Structure 1
């Protein structure tokens, strides 16, 4: 009795539980036993050539039945009826079920953020703030137009909010090296850190700056002091301050100015703000030349520039613009490339 219970327990744990290994072993046994039974039945035409045998076995076991090969003996027919077809159907069902469940698990792992993303040179967004994050992603999609993939990495208990459009990774900590490898921090070209808590934003920004110092790092802070602290440790980081109070004060003095600010920042409609660089290989020019050139040719308006000493709003027309300067303009859409050579030829 003890032996029977042991055998029953062993079969239940090793055979009836169809692991991938057991399924492979059963498939091999099915092929070998089928060949031996057909060989013993005298079906030489089906067993002499391995490719013919495998082809016949697959066609018969799956009940497709093309009819180009068939058993010629009574014993062979009984082997097909009693073993090949029933065993083949069972294995086919098990294999198809395993493949389907594996595909579903793989898809669910992506939805739940448990799978390593297969991207590079991507925009990595750390943090989830509901509709604000969704709106941010929509604006990034409009700006990028498929140029760089977007990866959302979140500590919140959510699933991928935009499946099929963005990649998603769920972590418990933005400083856990094993979990953050799933988001490929080291291969991101731009990292945006936006969390409800500034201390989490600070720690995540410091971690990302250490892992990928060449990435364009953006961090949103409600407390300007923490933004200054990050700038001291990571001079390349761009800290975005909360501007709600400033916008309220400006709207109180200049009614309607808040709508203008929102329009300048919006990237999905109307004119909005962009930046470009005046090439280093071009000769020095004036603000008036650039202003007139981009207005006539591109319907864009120059609003500021940065020659290395900070942003200068509404510069004088006589102001000189050296090569390598950063220019800020507003336009309906981002201008991919300016024909600066033609501007300098016209002077």
Structure 2
């Protein structure tokens, strides 16, 4: 008896929740019983062809009732009135309820940050939330025209404003692997980490590296020593506050702070972008400058031996292949424009 009672309780639970297997079983049983009843009633026009019978059942269930099919016998009409039509309406209502419930639950999960974006590839992930700054970062990402159309925001707070088009993931902690996976970190294109504390940012950077060893990570730190350790151990691009230096520049050269802020944001007329001089050949810095000017861009700095080795004008005479160049332009150079620029540089080398 206890076994039967447990089975009954489990079945009743699944029936109340209208599990998919229960729903399909009810539909199958209803169609089979209806078909047998119509066969018994002699409704050959309705049951001779399975497609015709399914068509009749669907039009009846949806209350459309085209009128091209209907029972011809008295028994068939009674079966239709007492069994087929009420059953069809009940099942149709149950299916609609299940679909609506699933849709509402899915939307609610997304709104509450309980969505799962593990399969999302090429996303830009922002980890951490600051009410004003995060929204500004998202605006800059979109304005940068770097194909940042898939943005995922990971935060611990439920009281946040999620900009339109941004996917939201909420977790109890930001440095747990499962939460990071849900936020599409494993297959992300770039990641920005800006949490409430340096310790949380540091741990999050280490966790990211467990999931992806190649993704570019930019992380903000308030402490320079922590930033240095994160750069060395987690291989991230650590960003520290330059407010002190900017304040000094503004005092010594009025207006310098506005220029620095303008160059740091893609929402202004121009900002800083980067690219890599592909190929194994070397290039003359003067020729590179000239080619950038030809596409309305200004070469600002170059890096030949890593992120810490940045050279400003006067540039080294020769720039080897693989050099990272930083330029100022109104927008990022389109791939076609960049390809033409590289072709001209290669042609100049061969000449």
Normalized against structure 2, the TM-score is what? 0.87
Q: 2:343 aligns with which of 338, 341, 344?
A: 341
Distance in 2 separating the partners of 1:264 and 1:15: 60
| Matched position secondary structure for 1:191 | strand
Distance in 2 separating the partners of 1:120 and 1:191: 12
Contact in 1 for aligned 2:127/2:154 (Cα 8 Å): yes
Number of residue-to-residue matches in the alignment:
335
Alpha-carbon displacement from aligned partner over 1:190-229 (angstroms, at most 9, x marks no partner):
1211112111101001111222111111110011111011
Kindly state the Cα deviation for residue 140 of structure 1 after the two structures are TM-superposed: 1.2
Q: Which runs of 5+ in 2 are unaligned?
A: none
| Matched position secondary structure for 2:186 | helix
Contact in 2 for aligned 1:304/1:315 (Cα 8 Å): no
Distance in 2 separating the partners of 1:307 and 1:267: 25
| Matched position secondary structure for 2:192 | strand
| Matched position secondary structure for 1:55 | helix
Contact in 2 for aligned 1:111/1:160 (Cα 8 Å): no
- Using the TM superposition, name which of 199-208 and 110-119 deviates more: 110-119
Give the corresponding residue for 1:130: 131
- Using the TM superposition, name which of 138-147 and 186-195 deviates more: 138-147
Give the corresponding residue for 1:110: 110
Distance in 2 separating the partners of 1:334 and 1:16: 57
For residues 101-250 of structure 1, the aligned pairs below 5 Å read 101-117=101-117, 118-146=119-147, 149-158=150-159, 161-163=162-164, 165-234=165-234, 236-250=235-249
For residues 77-92 of structure 1, the aligned pairs below 5 Å read 77-92=77-92
Residue 304, structure 1, aligned to residue 301, structure 2 = yes
Residue 283, structure 1, aligned to residue 282, structure 2 = yes
Give the corresponding residue for 1:332: 330
Q: 1:293 aligns with which of 283, 291, 294?
A: 291
Contact in 2 for aligned 1:231/1:237 (Cα 8 Å): yes
Contact in 2 for aligned 1:151/1:167 (Cα 8 Å): yes
Normalized against structure 1, the TM-score is what? 0.88
- Aligned CA RMSD, in angstroms, stands at 2.5
Kindly state the Cα deviation for residue 167 of structure 1 after the two structures are TM-superposed: 2.0
Alpha-carbon displacement from aligned partner over 1:270-323 (angstroms, at most 9, x marks no partner):
1111122223333331x333223321x11211222122171112225x733233
Distance in 1 separating the partners of 2:202 and 2:73: 79
